[in-house]
A and B are shown apart, each in its own frame.
Chain A
Amino acid sequence: MKWGVLQFPGSCDERDALNACQIAATALGSEGGSGSLPRLVWHEETDLSDVDGIVVPGGFSYGDYLRAGAIARFSPAMTAVAEFAAAGGPVLGICNGFQVLCESGLLPGALLTNEKTRFICRQGELIVGEAQSPFLSGYEAGQRISIPFKHQSGRFFAPADLLEEIESNNQVAFRYAPGQNPNGSLNDIAGVTNEAGNVIGLMPHPEHAVEAFAGSTDGLALFQGPAIAATGAVA
């Protein structure tokens, strides 16, 4: 499977995401479609026909000056991503990418400034949620994984009725492990999916947990999920 990684002015982690997609595909071997190299998708591009999955990476698109993710959602590429998602294509938003997906309405909720207002960067643990999503097919619900947290605006918020809906629809993809909620997110939510499950977003950074030297490879399965779901490949 071939990934496209969006690049906005101000993106930071797009090369890391590209690297993670590559490693994930290689690890899956031919069944993961290791032959097709992932590529960057410039924010002005509208033709996504050559890719099978989209990553909206982390960073500070457009400097995050108006509101994290608020401007990037209007880029031509995001219009194409919305169509891609509507057709069932797998879309993964990481950190700023999660914010962009929320701002564009592809995912429910919003991300606010951390409770302590500080940027935080530390290794932390997540609990995999009950959500039905191809991205989670390499994990077990309830599994504990180690993934770095790094963000300044990661406090997940949704009005009470929406939060209730997210919970009752099983749209929670990840929660911070007990006692590790770094930002004041409601219900310890670290990541959610859309109702269909093909769009997922999370604040922590799975692309920084794919190589042994980084201390954890627990993020790899997220990038392999759609391929596993599609082909029945085993991670």
Chain B
Amino acid sequence: MIQARVLIRPKEGILDAQGKAVEGALPALGFSGIEHVRIGRIVELEADSTDQLEELCEKLLANPLIEDYEIETVSG
């Protein structure tokens, strides 16, 4: 089996409301010098092959209209 990790994040230029909220909280928590916080998702999965992963991302895991994705193969 191939272990894969799919990173999904909001497309550049789209307001990421959650990322903005986290970024807004940082000064009060004592963190400075951190910016451009963006929040996405990681989907970990095991697959027989990498053949279908692109399609899986396009159709289900990400919405190409608003999200970018990257597929990382961890081992296999």
Contacts and interface: CB of A to CB of B under 8 A. Distances in A.
- Direct A/B contact, Cβ within 8 angstroms: yes
Main secondary structure of the interface of A (DSSP, over half): loop
Contacts of B65: 109-110, 157-159, 162
B63 A70 contact: yes
A103 B63 contact: yes
Contacts of B63: 67, 70, 103, 110
Interface in A84-123: 103, 109-110, 112-117
Interface string A137-162: 00000000000000000010111001
Contacts of A159: 65
A117 B18 contact: yes
A124 interface: no
* Size range of the chain A interface in the assembly: 20 to 34
B17 interface: yes
A212 interface: no
Contacts of B61: 66
Contacts of A157: 14, 65-66
A116 B10 CA distance: 16
The CB with the most chain A CB atoms within 10 A, among B17, B60, B61, is that of: B17
B30 to A, nearest CB: 22
A229 B71 CA distance: 48
A36 to B, nearest CB: 36
Contact of B15 (A66, A110, A115, A162): A115
A46 B65 CA distance: 28
B66 A117 contact: no
A66 B61 CA distance: 7
A155 B18 CA distance: 13
Contacts of A66: 41, 60-61
B17 A116 contact: yes
Given A70-B60, A110-B65, A117 B17 contact: yes
A184 B15 contact: yes
A158 B61 CA distance: 19
Interface in B9-37: 10, 14-15, 17-18, 21
B29 to A, nearest CB: 17
Given A112-B66, A184-B17, 5 more contacts: A66-B61, A109-B65, A110-B63, A110-B65, A158-B65
Interface of A: 66-67, 70-71, 74, 103, 109-110, 112-117, 155, 157-159, 162, 184
Interface of B: 10, 14-15, 17-18, 21, 41, 60-61, 63, 65-66
30 contacts: A66-B41, A66-B60, A66-B61, A67-B63, A70-B63, A71-B60, A103-B63, A109-B65, A110-B63, A110-B65, A110-B66, A112-B10, A112-B14, A112-B15, A113-B17, A113-B18, A114-B17, A115-B15, A116-B17, A117-B17, A117-B18, A117-B21, A155-B15, A155-B17, A157-B14, A157-B66, A159-B65, A162-B65, A184-B15, A184-B17
